[in-house]
Amino acid sequence: MGRRPEPHKRAELLEKAVDYVLEHGLQGLSLRPLAQALGTNARMLIYHFGSKEKLLTEVLEAAQARQRALLGELGGGAGDPFAALEAFWRWFSSPRLAPFARLLYEVEVGALQGQLEYQGFARRAIHGWIGFVLQGLPGSTPAQASLVVGTLAGLLLDGLITGEWERVNGAFGGFLEVLRAGSRG
């Protein structure tokens, strides 16, 4: 007779795995060191999640859910889409969100390299941000929302790599001014 499922143990392992991946990233992730960090063994991770790929899928989904919960805390800009975009940028580029951004960039690079386990997730994440911008900037088109998402993603990547946040925040301010000018006429 096999072990009985332990949903609480599985949920606990998943939360710890998310913490681990947010801190250490995905590059070179191996089940044995992950399991050791979680206080278990690779066999138990496979028992609870079925495979490394399924575990990674669940880790990415849980990390995204955490980020969405943090997004729920975002305030500011009610009624003014540009003020809302500015508040979003402050939130999006904050040190608190950096682990989530690094993880998403790792997934996107993996998708570019043809890693199938990341392609669907990366695509859904990009479309999710486009949908978020479409909701926040009424009257914008998917192409315009893509421009905003691409610009914010590029600026965020620049800031994470260089640490030159004053320059990057200035570039965001310039982008916001271009958007405001474009909305006036």
Of all residues in the chain, what percent are helix, strand and coil, respectively (each to 5)? Answer: 80, 0, 20
Q: Read off the pLDDT of each residue in 45-67 and give the average, rounded to a whole number.
A: 94
Q: Tell me, what's the pLDDT at 13? A: 96
CATH of domain 1-62: 1.10.10.60
Does the pTM of the predicted model rise above 0.85?
no
pLDDT in tens, 105-157: 999 999 999 988 899 999 999 999 999 889 888 888 999 999 999 999 999 99
Q: Tell me, what's the pLDDT at 5? A: 60
Residue intervals in the chain for CATH 1.10.10.60: 1-62
Residue 1: pLDDT band (50, 70, 90) is very low
> Is the pLDDT score of 2 beyond 60?
no
Q: What percent of the chain has pLDDT over 90?
A: 71
Q: Read off the pLDDT of each residue in 158-176 and give the average, rounded to a whole number.
A: 97
> Is the pLDDT score of 75 beyond 70?
no
How does the average pLDDT of the chain come out, rounded? Answer: 90
User: Which parts of the chain fold into alpha helices (H)?
Assistant: 7-24, 31-38, 42-49, 52-71, 81-92, 98-112, 116-136, 142-162, 165-184
pLDDT in tens, 84-113: 889 889 998 999 999 999 999 999 999 999
